[in-house]
Amino acid sequence: MNRIQAVILDWAGTTVDFGSFAPTQIFIEAFHRAFDIDITLEQARIPMGLGKWQHIEALGKLPEIDICWQNKFGRSMNNDDIDAIYATFMPLQIAKVVDFSAPISGVIQTIAALRTQEIKIGSCSGYPRAVMEKLVPAAARLGYSPDYWVASDDIPAGGRPGPWMALQNVIELSIDSVASCIKVDDAVPGIAEGLNAGMWSVGVVLSGNEFGKTWDEYQTMPHDAILELRQKAAAKLFAAGAHYVIDTLADLPQLIGVINDRLAKGERP
């Protein structure tokens, strides 16, 4: 009860795929292929962290996309439309996800450091199982392999922002207190997931969806531009309820010491 026993990590933007580009680019392509509707990268990022069917549903409710739908079809997006886009999205995502499976800089070293402290490594994702079955072994070949993973469609009750994927990790990893867990995520629904599960919720800024830059773009950005975008991304994650924000997962071990001190004083999330 007085120390962190497990961290439950998101995938794209948190442990792999710096900038979370695999899902966002595929949403753009799926909308175009299925209905010849063009959405922007910024729009595609807005519901990030939800299950992918729910992500498409949320995109259809954005006022600017709903207007496009009304103009083209004389109505709003319906479930048949969502199913059609999802059916287009899935094979594209399955084919492309391995190209975005490289662990983010510092992740492999961080996982090794956590394991020396006997901290278990859980994970969950907005990806469905069919995508995760391609991503997990690809990431393992490159050095990242959590102790457990669960996909958004594995849980009958649904995915984020509900607590169920995070709690499934607690069960499978045999953790005796949710207060001894940290949920780490780069998107708002994932922060809510951790809070709803009764865990410490930590947002990831620089490698994640809210910052939204590739590694190469980040490396060439002016310092002032980095600070401005970082502050904006951190503010959004704090507004969602994050207890802390970090730049990348490499900052997590130091933060665990801070949280352990709070647990030892009897504090809880």
pTM to 2 decimal places = 0.93
Question: How would DSSP label each residue in 206-263?
Answer: TTSTTT---HHHHHHS-HHHHHHHHHHHHHHHHHTT-SEEESSGGGHHHHHHHHHHHH
Total residues found in the chain within this entry: 269
Q: Is 183 a catalytic residue?
A: no
pLDDT at 158: 83
pLDDT at 52: 93
182 token code pair? 């940290």
82 backbone dihedrals φ, ψ, rounded to 5°: -60, -45
Q: Is 52 a catalytic residue?
A: yes
List, as own/partner pairs, every contact residues 137-141 make where C-beta atoms lie below 8 angstroms and the sequence separation is at least 24, other chains included.
138/97, 138/98, 138/101, 139/11, 139/15, 139/16, 139/101, 139/102, 139/103
User: What amino acid is encoded at 206 in this protein?
Assistant: L
pLDDT digits (tens, 9 = 90+) for 61-120: 999 999 999 999 999 999 999 999 999 999 999 999 999 999 999 999 999 999 999 999
Separation CA 269–CA 262 (nearest Å): 9
pLDDT at 77: 97
- Domains located in the chain, CATH noted: 6-20+101-264 (3.40.50.1000), 22-98 (1.10.150.240)
Q: Which of 17, 36, 38, 52 is catalytic?
A: 52
* pLDDT < 50 stretches in the chain: none
Count Cβ atoms below 10 Å from residue 4 Cβ, excluding itself.
24
pLDDT at 50: 92
User: What amino acid is encoded at 248 in this protein?
Assistant: T
Compute the C-alpha angle 62/65/69, nearest 5°.
125
The alpha carbons of the chain give a radius of gyration, in whole angstroms, of 18
pLDDT at 234: 98
Please give the span between the terminal C-alpha atoms of the chain, in angstroms, as a whole number. Answer: 12
